[in-house]
């Protein structure tokens, strides 16, 4: 997580907004963590986890979209063969 001071954040707000699209940005004041800036998608994901949805139809669309976009690591390619056999 990127960490910055409140003063630095005020000077470079655009830069930190851009960074927050990729990962949360922790903003400190007087050496103490005070705020965390994150993208709306990250916030929606966090809220969904807090709700602990168990049914897919209850998931927010942002979560469903993230799952649809997800890619498996190439080291798991052997699982695709197993899925094809089941069809």
- How many C-alpha atoms does 23 have within 13 Å on its Cβ side? 4
Percentage of the chain beyond pLDDT 70 is 94
Give pLDDT, residue 40.
95
CA-wise closest residue to 2 among 38, 29, 49, 41: 38
pLDDT digits (tens, 9 = 90+) for 47-83: 888 777 567 777 888 888 888 888 888 888 888 777 7
Check pLDDT > 90 for residue 2: yes
Delimit the domains of the chain by residue range. 2-86
Question: pTM of the entire structure?
Answer: 0.57
Between the CA of residue 9 and those of 24, 25, 34, 42, what are the distances in Å? 13, 10, 12, 20
> Which CATH number describes the domain made up of 2-86?
3.40.1620.10
């Amino acid at each position: 997580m990127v960490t910055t001071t409140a003063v630095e954040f005020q000077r470079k707000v655009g830069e930190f907004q851009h960074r927050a699209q990729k990962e949360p940005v922790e903003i400190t004041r007087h050496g103490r963590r005070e705020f965390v800036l994150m993208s709306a998608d990250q916030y929606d994901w966090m809220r969904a986890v807090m709700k602990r949805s168990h049914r897919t139809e209850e998931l927010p669309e942002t979560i469903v979209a993230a799952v649809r976009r997800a890619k498996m690591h190439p080291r798991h390619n052997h699982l695709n063969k197993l899925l094809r056999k089941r069809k």
